[in-house]
Amino acid sequence: MKSSLKSKKKQLIENLRAQGITDEKVLEVISEIPREDFIPDFLRNQAYENAALPIESGQTISQPYIVAYMTQELQVEKKHKVLEIGTGSGYQAVVLAKLCKRLFTIERHMPLYKSAEEMFKKLRIFNITTLFGNGIKGWKEQEPFDRIMVTAAGEEIPDELLYQLKDGGIMIIPVGAQDETQHIIRITRHGDDFDVKTLLPVKFVPLLSGIVHSS
């Protein structure tokens, strides 16, 4: 199984390059991380297919291309303090943590929050700080952030997140209703102005308010 997964991972990296992922740091990090550890055991042999997969609490682990694309567009640097909204399986968090100085990540589903924390310890990733809470409100105690990534689709862009960005900071967020075409949006803050660019059409789980204590 291990040699098969290794071969599939190598093929995935080649596919990501062919799809336009050019940031070698992003590709290197994806090649390092065992995606099979972030999904249910019965799906392990699908870990390196370029597809989203189901996880706990009715959520998904994003397609590797989308993870790579959103990370590349976020333009993360080693000095950055980054906020992630929607920890999920923890896979995207680990990708970001390997590229930035500090990652703060918020999850609203308690089972996902707990399992992601365990995974970070298992992988010995020590620059991640987790919070069980309402991601739409961001993390005011830790603002401002150089970068913010949202891993669920809002029907609109939450104002509270916009104003937790540093001047010059970038946010990547999927935007759109569940029954409509969603798009990844890149927002760059310039003082009290925000430059908004529409990027890739996507399909994400909804960005919801509140917290959920059980599956």
Phi/psi at 193 (nearest 5 deg)? -105, 155
Does the domain spanning 50-202 belong to CATH 3.40.50.460?
Answer: no
Burial class (CB in 10 A: 0-12, 13-18, 19+), 168: exposed
Give every residue of the chain whose pLDDT is below 50, as ranges.
none
Cα angle 145, 149, 152 (rounded to 5 degrees) comes to 140
pLDDT at 215: 56
In the chain, where are the structural domains located?
50-202
pLDDT at 48: 96
- Residues catalogued as catalytic: 62
Long-range contacts of 99-105 (CB under 8 A, 24+ apart): 99/25, 99/26, 99/29, 99/71, 100/76, 100/127, 100/146, 100/147, 101/127, 102/127, 102/129, 103/127, 103/128, 103/129, 104/128, 104/129, 104/131, 104/139, 104/142, 104/145, 105/129, 105/130, 105/131
pLDDT at 55: 94
